[in-house]
């Protein structure tokens, strides 16, 4: 059984390498520096008196595939639909002269992706906003968290503009999907390789 499993993994790795779009991770334009720690990635950018950090994790970032349509019309040689990784991401804005960090929790709404028709629509939304003390890795539950569901639209628009002025806009969000998808695929191939070694190990 293990031998067949290892052989299957070998073929699978070969296939995945064939469809791998990026041999190295795509860059995000706008002077962002990338740090990757396992499945977590962080993009950092400094602008006048501010440091902007965007953090995301590729785990569970691929939305479940829609299996509603009957599969009869799929031709045998047809490519499977491309998987896209759309992780939630957290934007932290730290101003040098304050001792606070503005934290904006953003995500890609499932129904927005693929609706190219609407020109003005944003491909990501802000879910929550709060202030956190700098350097705190854990969210303080005692800090007021603004949920955007019930937010005044004008305030929400200003928050989106605030992000756009710092380089977090639709272009950035598109490039983040590209980066995250490449990173996810890279990690998946690595996982298959680790699994193969593990299965082959006596």
* Both tokens assigned to 140: 């303080």
Structurally, the chain folds into a number of domains equal to 1
Domain-embedded: residue 65: no
Alpha-carbon distances of 103 from 54, 119, 153, rounded to whole Å: 10, 27, 19
* Residue count of the chain: 202
pLDDT score, position 82? 74
Domain-embedded: residue 73: no
Mean pLDDT along residues 157-180:
96
Other beta carbons within 10 Å of 102:
18
Mean pLDDT along residues 172-193:
95
117: pLDDT confidence band, cut at 50, 70 and 90?
A: very low
Q: Which tens digits make up the pLDDT trace of 119-164?
A: 458 899 999 999 987 666 666 677 888 999 988 999 999 999 999 9
Rounded Cα distance, 55 and 41, in Å: 6
Would the pLDDT of 113 be above 60? no
Domain-embedded: residue 72: no
Domain-embedded: residue 7: yes
Summary mean pLDDT of the chain: 86
Range(s) of the domain holding residue 170: 1-59+83-111+119-200
pLDDT score, position 97? 83
21: pLDDT confidence band, cut at 50, 70 and 90?
A: confident
Domain-embedded: residue 43: yes
Domain-embedded: residue 53: yes
CATH number at residue 196: 3.10.280.10
Q: Which tens digits make up the pLDDT trace of 43-91?
A: 999 998 999 999 999 999 998 876 554 444 444 444 556 789 999 999 9
Domain-embedded: residue 142: yes
pLDDT score, position 55? 97
Domain-embedded: residue 22: yes
**Structure-model confidence comparison of residues 187 and 78, the more confident one:** 187
CB-based contacts of 6: which residues, under 8 Å, 6+ apart? 196, 199, 200
177: pLDDT confidence band, cut at 50, 70 and 90?
A: very high
């Amino acid at each position: 059984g293990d031998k067949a499993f290892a052989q299957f993994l070998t073929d699978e790795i070969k296939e995945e390498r064939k469809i791998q779009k990026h041999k190295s991770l795509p860059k995000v334009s706008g002077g962002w520096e990338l740090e990757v720690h396992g499945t977590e990635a962080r993009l950092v950018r400094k602008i006048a008196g501010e440091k902007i950090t965007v953090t995301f994790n590729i785990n569970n970032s691929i939305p479940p595939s829609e299996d509603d349509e009957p599969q009869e019309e799929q031709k045998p040689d047809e490519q499977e639909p491309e998987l896209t990784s759309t992780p939630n991401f957290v934007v932290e804005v730290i101003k040098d002269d304050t001792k606070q960090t503005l934290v904006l929790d953003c995500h890609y709404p499932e129904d927005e992706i693929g609706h190219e028709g609407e020109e003005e629509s944003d491909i990501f939304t802000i879910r929550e906003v709060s202030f956190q003390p700098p350097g705190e890795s854990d969210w303080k539950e005692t800090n007021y968290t603004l949920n955007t569901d019930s937010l005044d639209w004008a305030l929400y628009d200003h928050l989106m503009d605030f992000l756009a002025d710092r380089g977090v806009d639709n272009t950035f969000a598109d490039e983040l999907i590209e980066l995250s998808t490449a990173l996810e695929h890279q990690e998946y191939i690595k996982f298959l390789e680790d699994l193969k070694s593990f299965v082959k190990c006596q």
